[in-house]
Amino acid sequence: MQRLMSLGILAPALMALAAPTQAQTVFVSTQLRPIEEATVVRQELLKDAGQVDYVVEEPPQFAVRMEAERQAGKRTVSLVGALHGELSPLADNDTLEPLDDLAKKLAADGMPQSVLDLGKLGKPTQQYIPWMQATYVMAAKKEALQYLPAGADVNALSYDQLIDWGKALQEATGQPQIGFPAGPKGLMARYFQGYFYPSFTGGVVRTFQNADAAAGWEKLKALWAYVTPNSTNYDFMQEPLAAGEVMVAWDHIARLKNAISATPDDYVVFPAPAGPKGRGYMPVLAGLAIPKGAPDKDGAIKVIEHLTTPDVQLLTAARVGFFPTLNVDLPPDLDPGVALLAGGVTATQAAKDAVISLLPVGLGDKGGEFNKVYMDSFQRIVLQNEPVAAVLKEESAVLAKLMTDTKAPCWAPDASSDGPCPVQ
């Protein structure tokens, strides 16, 4: 610990000494953080974008840094790259430069207006430029397919079929073979908000404790009998998939990519299962924004223009597995693993029963506590086997308070609301 701390003190000092004197555009990103991905960004994606200093920051530290710079009144960051939900509190503080000219240009270059409009974050002006997108899919080892229940199509699974599949896999191998990223850094909360709740209830907040939700939780408990108990330790499903600990997994495409790219012939990628209300799915959108008072606004605009050219967008897909926001076709010589993931994404988006669930908006810095409501419910109902109705009633009170405190209006798939989204 002490070593880490002294390193932490030393490193910036050394970097300050070593930093070249010419002006650099500081680009802080919460995306593409792992060292391999950050290296791709620095050496390939930003190669011809001028002098850019690409800095990665974990989402909580990102929020703290932006807030600290705002309060200090002195910006060091010229460009930020972050998820839709992470940019939303910055837009709420009115700290982002409007980017309407850029948006107009990109619309003319073929960025779909529906995607661009998400970058307004409910405001009259363009707050961020959509940078790249992703979603969550399921992946399975090909050898698991032989245990699919009769008549089941892997691209149109229902929860009942997934349960039967898990049961057959457990009987054949002696161990539960389905895995979820329910570890401390896993994205399990997004499963509940984007997949479980929309599929079973057609909503996320309004329907939190209704009868459909209770029935859904009972179904999840039935499924969990065939889910490996190590799931509460998994953060990235590519690791247990590659290690052979699980055969079927749900996760973010960027967190499955390493396993699938390493041996693409071993895997199939397919949409998450459908519940009674459809096949919920959550698109993930990362955007680029310029903070007000940025030291190098012109440089930042150049970087945004560079990153949204068709070539760089395709390169991004090929190298890091995030897909273009521009309307461009993926090239045929794409990395086979990424192509497999792209097929899963297309199958999800094209599913007849697809129910889009957007990332939460308007929660400000309460996004973490919003996730906690779903994860606490999961821990109590599924892991600790507490009665469903009682847990949902208690947690819905917490959720309702969060909604009234933040005054966040409903977002899709919940029906829109005047004022804070009600929990019914």
Partner 1 sequence: MSQNRPWIPYVLILPSVAFLALLFLVPLVQTIWLSMSDNGVPSLANAQRMAGDLNFTRSLKNTFLLTLAVVPVQLAIALAMGTMVGKIGRGRETILWIWTIPLGISDLAAGLVWLAILQNSGYFNSLLYGLGIIERQTSWLSYQTPVALFLAIAVAEIWRGTAIVMVIIVAGLNQVPKEFREAAEIFGAGPWVRFWRITLPLIRPALQSALILRTVLAFEVFSVVYALGGRNFPVLVGEAYNWQNQNQNYGVAAAYAVLIMVVSLAATVVYLRAIKVDPERLP
Instruction: Supply the minimum distance, in Å, between the C-beta of residue 184 and partner 1.
Output: 5
Q: Which of 88, 234, 200 is nearest to 209 (CA)?
A: 200
Instruction: Supply the minimum distance, in Å, between the C-beta of residue 232 and partner 1.
Output: 5
Q: Which is nearer to partner 1, 151 or 184 (CB)?
A: 184
Q: Which of 343, 363, 365, 346 is nearest to 354 (CA)?
A: 346
Q: Which is nearer to partner 1, 301 or 402 (CB)?
A: 402
Instruction: Supply the minimum distance, in Å, between the C-beta of residue 358 and partner 1.
Output: 21
Cis peptide before 291 (omega within 30 of 0): no
Q: Which is nearer to partner 1, 184 or 332 (CB)?
A: 184
Q: Which is nearer to partner 1, 94 or 365 (CB)?
A: 365
The letter for the amino acid at 330 is: L
Instruction: Supply the minimum distance, in Å, between the C-beta of residue 219 and partner 1.
Output: 20
Instruction: Supply the minimum distance, in Å, between the C-beta of residue 237 and partner 1.
Output: 14
The rounded Cα 93 to chain-centroid distance in angstroms is: 23
Instruction: Supply the minimum distance, in Å, between the C-beta of residue 76 and partner 1.
Output: 22
Instruction: Supply the minimum distance, in Å, between the C-beta of residue 144 and partner 1.
Output: 16
Q: Which is nearer to partner 1, 66 or 304 (CB)?
A: 66
Query: Which residue stretches of 73-187 are H helix?
Result: 84-92, 100-108, 113-118, 159-173
What residues form DSSP beta bridges with 249?
A: 139, 179
By the 8 A CB rule, do 110 and 327 touch? yes
Q: Which of 246, 271, 268, 252 is nearest to 159 (CA)?
A: 271
Instruction: Supply the minimum distance, in Å, between the C-beta of residue 58 and partner 1.
Output: 8
Q: Which is nearer to partner 1, 217 or 281 (CB)?
A: 217
Q: Which is nearer to partner 1, 7 or 211 (CB)?
A: 7
Contacts with partner 1, residue ranges (CB under 8 A): 1, 3-4, 60, 63, 174-175, 182-184, 228-230, 232-233, 243-245, 365-369, 371-372, 376, 379-380, 383
In the chain, what's the furthest Cα-to-Cα distance?
67
Q: Which of 250, 347, 289, 220 is nearest to 77 (CA)?
A: 289
By the 8 A CB rule, do 154 and 148 touch? yes
What are 41's two structure tokens? 């960004």
Coil/strand/helix, residue 400: helix
Q: Which is nearer to partner 1, 183 or 295 (CB)?
A: 183
Query: Which residue stretches of 321-387 are H helix?
Result: 336-350, 367-378
Say if residue 117 is exposed, middle or buried (CB neighbours under 10 Å; 0-12, 13-18, 19+): middle
